[in-house]
């Protein structure tokens, strides 16, 4: 997997999903300034926009091309490139959610399926809203990985069906299954699904 060696990716803060290769920096420029044709400031949340703009100005003192982007600036983009703005192994196969929950950060984003890229940590907003064909293809892709499948996006217990459960049972190895339980009404479907 070859990431562009000419792009330095800058993040506002480090978290468990931040890439950890040599072309990643956190925060403002320090003494270490690698050779790069471009700097990309990645802003994950809308409330971080001002901090991202400040970082863009700081990095622009040292590099001629400094771009500001990410979900907090221009939405979720048109695709997903493994390892570029999320750590290697994390994949996103769908975007948005059709549920429109009032508290959700993606309530106004249309649900869409993306081209499936390799990984073992599925970070979709609501993968169970995907078509059966897409979900089956994700399971097939996960079975080609050497690491256990991890679903951290939160499986929507109100959408899981016996068909989904059978598909999940086809996985070679499951590391983690996280379920979305955002309201009291989600407890009943979760109680039904959990023992299976």
Q: Residue with structure tokens 């939160």?
A: 154
Inform me whether the pLDDT recorded for 34 exceeds 50: yes
DSSP state at residue 189? H
Mean pLDDT of the 111-116 span:
90
Per-residue confidence (pLDDT) for residue 1, from 0 to 100: 47
Domain limits, the chain:
7-74, 90-193
Per-residue confidence (pLDDT) for residue 111, from 0 to 100: 85
Per-residue confidence (pLDDT) for residue 84, from 0 to 100: 84
Angle at which helices 132-142 and 162-169 pack, to 10 degrees?
20
Q: CATH number of 90-193: 3.90.1150.10, 3.90.1660.10, 2.60.40.10, 3.30.750.210?
A: 3.30.750.210
Mean pLDDT of the 21-25 span:
91
What mean pLDDT value characterizes the chain? 87
Mean pLDDT of the 137-152 span:
96
């Amino acid at each position: 997997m070859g990431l562009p060696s000419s792009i330095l990716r800058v993040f506002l803060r480090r978290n468990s999903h931040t890439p950890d290769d040599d072309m990643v920096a956190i925060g403002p420029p320090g003494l270490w300034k690698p050779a790069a044709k471009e700097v990309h400031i990645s802003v994950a949340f809308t409330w971080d926009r001002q901090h991202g703009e400040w970082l863009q100005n700081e990095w622009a003192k040292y590099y001629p091309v400094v771009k500001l982007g990410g979900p907090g600036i221009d939405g979720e983009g048109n695709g997903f490139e493994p390892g570029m703005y999320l750590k290697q192994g994390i994949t996103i196969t769908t975007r948005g959610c059709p549920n429109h929950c009032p508290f959700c950060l993606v309530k106004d984003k249309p649900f869409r399926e993306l081209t499936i890229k390799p990984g073992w940590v599925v970070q979709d907003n609501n993968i169970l809203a995907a078509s059966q064909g897409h979900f089956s293809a994700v399971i097939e892709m996960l079975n080609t990985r050497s690491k256990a499948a991890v679903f951290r996006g939160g499986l929507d217990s109100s959408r899981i069906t016996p068909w989904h459960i059978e598909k999940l049972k086809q996985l070679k190895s499951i590391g983690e299954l996280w379920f979305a339980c955002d309201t009291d009404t989600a407890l009943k479907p979760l109680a039904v699904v959990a023992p299976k």
